[in-house]
Amino acid sequence: MTAPTILPLSIERLFYAVAGRALLESVSVEIAAGSRTVILGPNGAGKSLCLRLAQGLIAPTAGCVVWKGPGAAQAKMRQAMVFQRPVLLRRSAAANVSYALAVRGVPRADRPSRVEEALARAGLAGLGDRPARTMSGGEQQKLALARAWALKPEVLFLDEPTASLDPAAVRAVEAMIQAIHEGGTKIVMTTHDLGQAKRLADEVLFLHNGRLVERAPADRFFEHPSTLQAAAFLRGEILA
């Protein structure tokens, strides 16, 4: 039996301000099950803030984030997040995955097989005993993804998952994201990389200066952006 869905996620008139300066203004959007949602925008647009607010890591100044699905009460346990710079424990790669499973209440006896499977899917089979913090940047990012994958989340939030990786590692991580999605996990990710958005997005939320400027299916967004800011961003212009 599959658990009832926690989606959709409703983001309602979200404001976030620090020291009186508005960093996010009136962002409203409903995030539905299924598609890969990519939050796109230039540096400083508010993408990371949006993701942290959506995941409940920080509280909004005004507005709210509400899980509306019938399984909403389980929302905390059914989502996972991968940060731009992986946050790994000073333990082995396997222990990092195993710890996350323990926190989610996965029985001890089930953990080793789930750890092994996740590491193998990430192309890290054989690296389970390595201290996580001695792994390369690309390996660490794959490990962070493996850890999230092992949790079998219904929704996976990813903040610039390939920002500091070389092209081969970018391809590997994008393939993992694709495989996680094909396994039935809803993907919500940020990027400022147009190529990545084109490769991965089904739906684009374009953010600029703390505002949600445009929301569209990916093909329409890239072919016919409906706002001047999005069109300028797609042309590679620097936005004011």
Ligand X SMILES: Nc1ncnc2c1ncn2[C@@H]1O[C@H](COP(=O)(O)OP(=O)(O)OP(=O)(O)O)[C@@H](O)[C@H]1O
Which residues lie closer than 8 Å to 6 by C-beta, 6 or more apart?
67, 69, 71, 72, 74, 75, 78, 79, 154, 155
CB of 188 to ligand X, least distance (A): 14
* Residue 24 CB burial class (10 angstroms; 0-12, 13-18, ≥19): buried
Residue the block writes with tokens 């952006």: 225
Q: Which two tokens stand for residue 178?
A: 């694709």
Shortest reach from residue 49's CB to ligand X, in Å: 4
* Cα distance between residue 200 and residue 217, in whole Å: 12
Nearer to ligand X, 58 or 103 (CB): 58
If the CB atoms of residues 56 and 131 are measured against Mg ion, the closer one turns out to be 56
Q: Which residues pair with 24 in a beta bridge?
A: 16
State the binding string over 138-177 for ligand X (x if CB under 6 A, else -). Answer: ----------------------x-----------------
Q: In terms of CB distance, is 185 or 191 closer to ligand X?
A: 191
Quick check: 47 binds ligand X (CB under 6 A)?
A: yes
- Amino acid (one-letter) located at 24: L
Q: Which of 43, 90, 108, 236 binds ligand X (CB under 6 A)?
A: 43
CA–CA gap between residue 19 and residue 152 (Å, rounded): 38
23 makes contact with ligand X (CB under 6 A): yes
Q: Footprint of Mg ion on this chain (CB under 5 A)? A: 47-48
Q: Footprint of ligand X on this chain (CB under 6 A)? A: 18, 23, 41, 43-49, 160, 192
